[in-house]
């Protein structure tokens, strides 16, 4: 499952990540809203808690376009690394572990993650050419 990102831990839930601005159709109770989701997101539940919603910011670099992501039937998609941003040598008590900071597609440079260099060389050797 490494490299596969799920929208939520439970099937059909949205993770706290901004996908795209969606219109609020109706208010359900005091803290729940029904959203107008795209037909491609039919596997995701259209009712969200108010704490999961954010005011729509017009920063287009931080919003992921849903047309770029190929969703599977179980609401997952595969992330592939774009480039290596940084390298460090993590010093533990007895060992040194080389780590690389990887920028993933559909994510901003601020959301890059630290991964073990040996793991990344095995799966994605084209990044080290």
> What pLDDT does residue 19 have?
66
> Structure tokens of 90?
């993590």
Nearest Cα neighbor of 72 from 27, 9, 11 is: 11
> What pLDDT does residue 58 have?
62
Same-domain check for residues 65 and 84: no
- Give the model confidence (pLDDT) of 72-116 as tens digits: 777 777 788 989 999 999 999 999 999 999 998 877 778 888 999
- Give the model confidence (pLDDT) of 32-82 as tens digits: 888 888 777 777 778 888 777 777 666 666 555 666 667 777 777 778 898
- Evaluate if residue 16 carries a pLDDT over 50: no
> Is there a contact between 21 and 38 (Cβ–Cβ < 8 Å)?
no
Which pLDDT band holds residue 8 (cuts at 50, 70, 90)?
very low
Q: What is the largest CA-CA distance in the chain?
A: 58
Same-domain check for residues 49 and 87: no
Query: How many structural domains compose the chain?
Result: 2
Q: What is the pTM of this model?
A: 0.48
Same-domain check for residues 2 and 19: yes
Domain with 27, as residue range(s), is 1-78
- The CATH number linked to 110 is 2.40.50
d(CA 21, CA 65): 10
Nearest Cα neighbor of 48 from 63, 26, 70 is: 26
> What pLDDT does residue 90 have?
92
> Is there a contact between 113 and 101 (Cβ–Cβ < 8 Å)?
yes
> What pLDDT does residue 10 have?
42
DSSP symbols for 21-65:
--EEEEEETTTEEEEE--GGGTTS-SEEEGGG--PPP--TTTSPP
Which pLDDT band holds residue 31 (cuts at 50, 70, 90)?
confident
Which of 78, 101, 120 terminates a domain? The answer is: 78
Same-domain check for residues 95 and 116: yes
């Amino acid at each position: 499952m490494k490299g596969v990102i799920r929208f939520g831990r439970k099937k059909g839930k949205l993770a706290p990540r901004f996908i795209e601005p969606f219109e609020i159709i109706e208010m359900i109770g005091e803290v729940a809203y029904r959203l107008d989701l795209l037909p491609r997101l039919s596997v995701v539940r259209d009712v969200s808690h108010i704490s999961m919603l954010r005011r729509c910011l017009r920063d287009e670099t931080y919003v992921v376009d849903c047309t770029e992501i190929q969703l599977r039937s179980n609401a997952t998609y595969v992330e592939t690394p774009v480039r290596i941003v940084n390298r460090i040598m993590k010093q533990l008590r007895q060992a040194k572990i080389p780590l690389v900071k990887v920028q993933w597609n559909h994510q901003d440079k601020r959301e890059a993650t630290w991964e073990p260099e040996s793991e990344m060389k095995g799966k994605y050797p084209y990044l080290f050419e």
